[in-house]
Amino acid sequence: MGTRKILVFQHVAWEILGTLDPMFRDSGFRIRYVNFDRKPEARPTLSRYRGLIVLGGPMNVDQSDRYPHLLTELRVIEQALEREIPVLGICLGAQLLAKVLGGEVGRSARPEIGWVAVERTEASRNDPVLWNFAEREMIFQWHGDTFEVPRSGVHLARSSDCPGQAFRYGDKVYGFQFHLEVDEALIERWLTLPEHRVLLERHGFCVDEIRRATAVHVARGTELARRTFGAFVSLFGPRRVTTLPSR
């Protein structure tokens, strides 16, 4: 079957695979980032790739006039669904995925930034990826937009201000509004970005409160990420092992 490769769509330098990166590499995958911030004209294809990850970003899904690459991403997501390969959309990525599937995407009731209580739905109990969630988990968030769970999707998680927190389409396609991939270092990086500090002040979020909450919740977040992403990686099938010929 050749080398297992994953295609990753990136929109800004600080939105990365995070804790998901080593899990793919340890499972024998090669990762190719397409950074649309650096190369907005990129036209990636899915040939030779076993799955697609679409990361977050500050833009909205309807800003294709300003960010034409969003149209490219929508087309590639459509192709990934047609090929029935695993897909994971995180934050903006989940919104793009929802849009492709016919769900509405728009402003959230209020921005969710920091650690937010996320509740599982009944459907998540038997989900192969989110089954390990407790009834209520504190998960890191950073978004002002959100998605409506597509009619063809299975609703997996919600929060009080954002019903669309997670969904599954088919057997191998997931959209997560939350940022399960972050660790303490990545959260600190986000908190110290000048453009983020302006956003936090505008909406009345306290950086020190988020840091204190991080100290309380990050260990559980890391463990939940390990279990959840481990289950997602398993959707690709077992790692291919090369057997050397006997002498």
- Cite the active site residues: 91, 179, 181
> How far is 230 from 209, CA to CA, in rounded Å?
30
Among candidate residues 157, 154, 116, 153, the one with its CA nearest the CA of residue 135: 157
DSSP string, 108-169: EEEEEEEEEEEEE-GGGGG-TTTTT--SEEEEEEEEEEEEPPPTTSEEEEE-SS-S-SEEEE
- Residue 158 in tokens: 């919600």
E-strand spans in the chain?
Answer: 4-10, 29-35, 51-54, 87-90, 105-120, 136-147, 154-158, 166-169, 173-176
**Token pair in block for residue 145:** 């937009």
